């Protein structure tokens, strides 16, 4: 049901949420308060601080100025009305215009993996519930087909090429925690925007926007420098080494013992050296130097044989402290959920922003034992269903805290499923439904079309499906609109406020064009139902529908095809982009190509040169890698079991 207008907000549902602000309901009664029984009058007065103050003033004057009692009673009456109305309007404007915001982003989740987007074998009842209770966007497009740039666009409302969160090389994401690259600090994130509006802000889960610049603990790219008040999660991203198979547990145990040996030897060497210097012990210096050399060799052995991401990148932090290095990936999700529920509880009075950034469903798919084997789609399906269960607990907590109708919930994925993620010939990545391609492909729909669900009961219609092109970049200006913030005026914001479209005030997307990038290389332009491809990846081996020989498709060079004239598709008739149009099959063929070319030329003129964070700055340095302990023995587990 679609609901508009202030009065509708007082219907049973939304109103039920205001129980923690009792003076809302008492305010209309104040003007007749003098006719109420004394006990009830008192309880009503006490429910509003401003009314209580005015009442106290009246009482004081009545006692000390009895001759003026009749006029004072009148004054009291008026003051109750005034303060109560003021209290009501202030509280209304604060709570209604500033909903709590819960943004939930899945990692590498394919649009075809969800029941509400057509999957009938994976069970995702809680995602589907969001679709039933909110608005479902069927043409929700990410600004990039890889993690880091897509998330930058979500955070800033801008194409990643404007912030420099792009690459002209093969790698297109932050490569490790040892690189100085990161989201430039002059970018304004949605967290910073909401924080200025009085929101408490948290990100729980994956960050993947850099960490250090000059030393292993300067944390120049920590979420705290981008408007977030609280952080728990992975500063990096899951990678294959993060969830070692059981045989690695033995290896981990050996490393711990080596570290213990080194510490004991160091104590021995120090004791010998001090004893020798003080004359208590008579040992040759050569023995002491031999022990020191042995320690150095052990350290070098440990360091050089374990440069794996498991130690250096698979770690968890709470605020600025490393809590697990290496992390126990299969339990990270449950701790994240606990952290999120705790944040909601702490800040239930709102307004708050919670960005819950799932580690699910990225490889290597660490899954709790309870979910192993529950789905019909192997480990990937198990991981999706675990994610959905976690989402359900998050939504239940919002309900239980009475925040359902004052909280805007958004769910999406950072890009399409990873088709090349396989074990042997078994598919381990997501499914992008009828759409061609997947993660890493800048132009094909499968890489960039993602789920988009938004629920805000009483303000957004339930069960509405919108088939207009929208973007993850739209979240930034949309949140600005709902929180009363103004988007930065000194830069181009590419996103558009979605509220008019979501609420049904307009029927058409404000996006006349969308530009689909692969790194710094523009691959395609979207224009209404048309899609114009200038560059497409070469699938390998021949006949395949993805880039299996290179794990990810390339953006430029010999492994792409440059199209002149470009390929043109009509997504409304051919959503799978299977049959390019020609001059013979489409009367508007030339017009579409020319209009897209003109739009692209205008877009390119709007770009300013910036350092490419994911190119030259994406160089690994061991000195920037965070360490929980004494370098290079960076091991710790502060969560315990």
Tell me which H or E stretch contains 230.
strand 230-233
Nearer to Ca ion, 359 or 571 (CB): 359
Identify which of residues 54 and 413 has a Cβ nearer to Ca ion in the complex. Answer: 413
Report how far residue 502's alpha carbon sits from residue 224's, in angstroms, rounded to the nearest whole number.
31
Task: Name which position in 45, 87, 107, 389 contacts Ca ion (CB under 5 A).
Answer: 107
Helices (H), 362-474: 378-400, 445-448
| CB 174 to Ca ion: min, Å | 12
Question: What residues from 380 to 419 belong to the interface with Ca ion (CB under 5 A)?
Answer: 414
Of residues 108 and 385, the one with the C-beta less far from Ca ion: 108
Cis peptide bond N-terminal to 351, omega within 30: yes
Interface size with Ca ion, residues (CB under 5 A)? 4
Q: How near is the Cβ of 332 to Ca ion at its closest, in Å?
A: 16
**What's the sign of the alpha-carbon dihedral 399, 403, 408, 412?**
negative
- Measured in residues, the chain has a length of 641
* 109 near Ca ion, judged by CB under 5 A: no
- Of these residues, 76, 116, 140, 147, which one is catalytic? 147
Minimum CB–partner distance for residue 515 and Ca ion (Å): 20
CB nearer to Ca ion: pick between 24 and 243: 243
In the DSSP assignment, the letter for residue 129 is H
23 is catalytic: no
Contact residue for Ca ion among 27, 101, 108, 123 (CB under 5 A): 108
Tell me how far CA of residue 573 lies from CA of 140, 434, 437, 576, 579, in angstroms.
Answer: 18, 13, 18, 9, 10
Question: Contact region for Ca ion (CB under 5 A) — 146-154, 341-349, 350-358, 487-495?
Answer: 146-154
Distance, first Cα to last Cα, the chain: 47
Residue nearest to Ca ion (CB): 147
3-state secondary structure 494-537: CCCCCHHHHCCCCCCCCCCEEEEEECCEEEEEEECCEEEEEEEE
DSSP summary character for residue 112: G
3-state secondary structure string across 459-483: CCCCCEEEEEEEEHHHHHHHHHHHH
Q: How far is the CB of 96 from Ca ion (least distance, A)?
A: 35
| Nearest distance, CB of residue 468 and Ca ion, angstroms | 24
Of 238 and 262, CB closest to Ca ion: 238
Closest CA to 105 of 26, 204, 193, 20: 204
Query: Judged by CB, which is closer to Ca ion: 172, or 377?
Result: 172
Smallest distance, Ca ion to C-beta of residue 418, A? 8
Closer to Ca ion at the Cβ: 333 or 488?
333
Q: Residue 409: which H helix or E strand, with range?
A: strand 407-413
Smallest separation (angstroms) from Ca ion to the CB of 630: 33
SS3 18: helix
SS3 250: helix
Stretch that binds Ca ion, among 51-59, 104-112, 373-381, 464-472 (CB under 5 A): 104-112
Element (H, E) at 137: strand 135-141
CB of 107 to Ca ion, least distance (A): 4
Binding status of residue 147 toward Ca ion by CB under 5 A: yes
**If residue 59 lies in a helix (H) or strand (E), which one and from where to where?**
helix 49-64
d(CA 627, CA 313): 10
Q: Using CB atoms within 10 A of its CB, is residue 426 exposed (0-12), middle (13-18) or buried (19+)?
A: exposed
- Residue 420 lies near Ca ion (rule: CB under 5 A): no
Scanning 13-21, 145-153, 191-199, 480-488 for contacts with Ca ion by CB under 5 A, the matching segment is 145-153
Tell me if residue 563 is catalytic. no
Q: Which of 133/414 has CB closer to Ca ion? A: 414
Residue 248 to residues 104, 242, 258, 483, Cα–Cα distance (Å): 32, 11, 15, 48
| 113 lies in the binding site for Ca ion (CB under 5 A) | no
Q: Which is catalytic among the residues 23, 126, 208, 418?
A: 208
Binding mask 59-98 for Ca ion (x = CB under 5 A): ----------------------------------------
By C-beta, is 147 or 365 nearer to Ca ion? 147
Q: How far is the CB of 429 from Ca ion (least distance, A)?
A: 10
Pairing of strands 407-413, 100-106: parallel
The residues of the shown chain that bind Ca ion, judged by CB under 5 A, are 107-108, 147, 414
**Residues belonging to the active site:** 147, 208
């Amino acid at each position: 049901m679609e609901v508009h207008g202030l009065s509708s907000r007082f219907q049973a549902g939304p109103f039920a949420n205001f129980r923690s602000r009792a003076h809302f309901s008492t305010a209309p009664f104040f003007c007749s308060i003098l006719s109420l029984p004394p006990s009830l009058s008192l309880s009503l007065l006490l429910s509003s601080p401003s009314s209580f103050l005015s009442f106290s003033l009246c009482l004081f004057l009545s006692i000390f100025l009895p001759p003026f009692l009749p006029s004072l009673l009148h004054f009291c009456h008026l003051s109750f009305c005034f303060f109560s109305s003021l209290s009501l309007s202030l509280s209304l404007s604060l709570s209604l215009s500033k909903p709590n915001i819960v943004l939930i982003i899945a990692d590498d989740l394919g649009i075809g993996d969800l029941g509400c987007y057509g999957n009938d074998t994976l069970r995702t009842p809680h995602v589907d519930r969001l679709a039933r209770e909110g608005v479902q966007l069927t043409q929700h497009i990410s600004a990039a087909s890889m993690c880091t740039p897509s998330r930058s666009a979500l955070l800033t409302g801008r194409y990643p090429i404007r912030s420099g969160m792009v690459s002209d090389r093969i790698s297109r994401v932050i490569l490790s925690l040892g690189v100085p690259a990161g989201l430039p600090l002059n970018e304004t994130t949605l967290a910073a925007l909401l924080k200025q509006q009085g929101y408490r802000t948290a990100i729980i889960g994956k960050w993947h926007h850099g960490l250090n610049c000059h030393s292993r603990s300067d944390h120049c790219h920590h979420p705290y420098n981008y408007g977030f008040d609280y952080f728990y999660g992975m500063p990096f991203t899951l990678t294959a080494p993060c969830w070692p198979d059981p045989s690695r547990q033995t290896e981990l145990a050996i490393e711990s013992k080596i570290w213990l040996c080194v510490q004991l030897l160091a104590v021995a060497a120090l004791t010998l050296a001090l004893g020798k210097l003080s004359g208590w012990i008579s040992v040759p210096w050569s023995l002491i130097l031999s022990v020191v050399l042995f320690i150095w060799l052990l350290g070098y052995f440990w360091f050089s044989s374990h440069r794996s991401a498991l130690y250096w990148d698979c770690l968890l932090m709470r605020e600025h402290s490393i809590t697990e290095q290496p992390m126990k990936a299969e339990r990270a999700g449950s701790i994240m959920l606990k952290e999120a529920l705790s944040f909601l509880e702490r800040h239930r009075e709102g307004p708050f922003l919670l960005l819950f950034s799932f580690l699910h469903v990225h490889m290597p798919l660490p899954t709790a034992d309870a979910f192993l084997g529950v789905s019909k789609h192997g480990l990937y399906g198990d991981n999706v269903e675990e994610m959905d269960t976690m989402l359900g607990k998050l939504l239940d907590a919002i309900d239980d805290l009475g925040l359902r109708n004052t909280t805007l919930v958004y769910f999406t994925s950072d890009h399409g499923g990873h088709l090349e993620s396989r074990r042997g010939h078994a598919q381990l990545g997501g499914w992008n439904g009828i759409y061609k391609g997947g993660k890493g492909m800048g132009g094909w729909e499968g890489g960039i079309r993602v789920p988009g669900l938004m629920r805000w009961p009483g303000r957004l219609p339930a069960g509405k499906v919108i088939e207009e092109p929208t973007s993850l970049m739209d979240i930034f200006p949309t949140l600005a609109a709902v929180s009363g913030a103004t988007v930065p005026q000194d830069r181009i914001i590419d996103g558009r406020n979605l509220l008019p479209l979501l609420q049904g005030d307009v029927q058409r997307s404000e996006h006349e064009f969308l530009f689909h990038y692969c790194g710094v290389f523009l691959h395609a332009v979207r224009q209404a139902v048309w899609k114009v491809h200038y560059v497409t990846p070469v699938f390998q081996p021949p006949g395949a529908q993805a880039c299996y020989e290179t794990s990810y498709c390339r953006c430029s060079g010999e492994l792409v095809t440059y199209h002149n004239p470009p390929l043109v598709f009509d997504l409304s008739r051919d959503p799978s982009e299977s049959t390019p149009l020609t001059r013979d099959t489409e009367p508007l063929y030339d017009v579409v190509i020319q209009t897209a070319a003109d739009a692209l030329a205008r877009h390119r003129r709007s770009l300013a040169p910036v350092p490419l964070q994911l190119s030259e700055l994406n160089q690994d340095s061991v000195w920037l890698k965070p360490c929980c302990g004494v370098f290079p023995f960076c091991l710790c587990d502060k969560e315990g079991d």
